[in-house]
A and B are shown apart, each in its own frame.
Chain A
């Protein structure tokens, strides 16, 4: 049984349909990447998984239980937490408070607490009293990741980690991923940077116009196949 599974997932914003029957599975311990161009439906998929967009109950299963209709805060309590696109730190809270609020609905004891997050991103400890939005983009991304980890998630959803960051910073951020997986979280990343996604993922889904157009391990996927699934035309 997959840890997380979507079955024929659809999503609507008013009259606009963003997802058309998406089937996706995440096994325990796995890292799955979802790639696709702007507007392919990647973020709608993550927003559905995190409960921001509510769906029919059995469109999303977690450990065999239907969770599609749950609200975002109950999804966190189950052990699925999200690093939202654009970081979305709370400007009224300091760095440390931003991290602490991630533990608002913490699941029991686990690998992640303030010390563990500071050990992974030491520069956050130096800036722990600064307001969340006073940090550089890369540091904000570290806070957003740490904040999501503070609930000790079984599944970590990462939306566009590399967006707007310099390559050297992206490398530092992705360097944290193995540590996060070792600590017991399975990971779904949404990424426009195909190279980065292929490097870290066990399996890749490519989306276009609200549908999954390609699925496989990075080794299986040829450049041509990805190009076709990404843009809809052969390279």
Chain B
């Protein structure tokens, strides 16, 4: 029964990693841009939530609704004024720019909020749990997984059922021909990064309410997000969820054997998948 509990907790943890990864996957899938500042943007959003919660006294979930449009604007502006200028056939400039951005965000946050670790208070939700058959699960972890699934369903719907989603896929295939359809690739990229930042806000909500955070933890979240995206297959959203869950389960199993092995077990699972399926579990047909 302990094993079952461990696996269930791992699946729930995977939901958090999938949320970290979904925005990364979205941006990579559309514009082949690897955003090295993704983890730091999650931390930035967590601080934004903290500010909204403490200044306006709102519940974190309500604060997230306030933060979402702000973060959409941040993403749109970031893409429009910075990242679009460095996107091109060479992948190095965007990597360097987002790496620099990561350093800038960390330092600005340290300047503004100090290096102390913080947490977004979520009241009784923090400790609430409910029995699910033989195991008992925390309400927050459960909400995290449900949100991750919800985010991926919403992104799938956006991609495959809307005109904007068609524009995303067409621009990803061939930006020049997309412009012949009347699509502005640069604007589509800005919209995509804006949407990715909305997802980042949801990730930040759970990051900030479930554990402590400080300005420097972004890169570690980025690693989990990367691993989830690569395990799932670059650009595949459901694959990203599967990747997050694999890392989550591996970590809790590792921790169950020896608490020191938690992080290591996640990375080992990632390497194992890479050995067996170098293109990930659900690679896109056209890459």
Contacts and interface: CB of A to CB of B under 8 A. Distances in A.
A90 B177 contact: yes
B167 A104 contact: yes
A175 to B, nearest CB: 24
Contacts of A50: 180
Nearest to B235: A92
B86 interface: no
Interface residues of B, number: 18
Interface stretch (A68-76, A189-197, A203-211, A222-230): A68-76
Contacts of B169: 90, 92-93, 97
Interface string B169-183: 110111011111111
B258 interface: no
Given A97-B166, A101-B167, A151 B182 contact: yes
Nearest to A72: B179
Given A71-B184, A73-B184, A92-B286, A101 B179 contact: no
B157 to A, nearest CB: 15
B286 A84 contact: no
A76 B184 CA distance: 11
Given A84-B177, A101-B167, A104-B167, A92 B182 contact: no
A12 interface: no
Contact of A90 (B173, B179, B182, B184): B173
A147 B181 contact: yes
B163 interface: yes
Given A88-B174, A93-B173, A71 B179 contact: yes
Contacts of A73: 179-184
Contact of B170 (A72, A90, A151): A90
B181 A105 contact: yes
Interface in A94-109: 97, 100-102, 104-105
Residue among B180, B182, B183, B286 facing the most chain A CB atoms (10 A cut-off): B180
B181 A104 contact: yes
Contacts, number: 67
A77 interface: yes
B180 A84 contact: yes
Interface in A44-97: 50-52, 71-73, 76-77, 81-82, 84, 88, 90-93, 97
A147 B180 CA distance: 10
Contact of A105 (B174, B176, B182, B286): B182
A76 B181 contact: yes
A57 B181 CA distance: 21
Contacts of B179: 51-52, 71-73
A52 B182 CA distance: 11
A120 B281 CA distance: 42
Contacts of B166: 93, 97, 100-101, 104
Contact of B172 (A51, A88, A92, A105): A92
A84 B181 CA distance: 11
Contacts of B182: 73, 76-77, 104-105, 151
Contacts of A91: 173, 286
B183 A104 contact: yes
A90 B170 CA distance: 6
A217 to B, nearest CB: 30
Given A97-B169, A104-B167, 6 more contacts: A73-B182, A77-B182, A93-B173, A102-B181, A104-B166, A151-B182
Interface of B: 163, 166-167, 169-170, 172-174, 176-184, 286
8 contacts: A50-B180, A52-B180, A72-B176, A76-B182, A90-B170, A91-B286, A101-B181, A104-B163
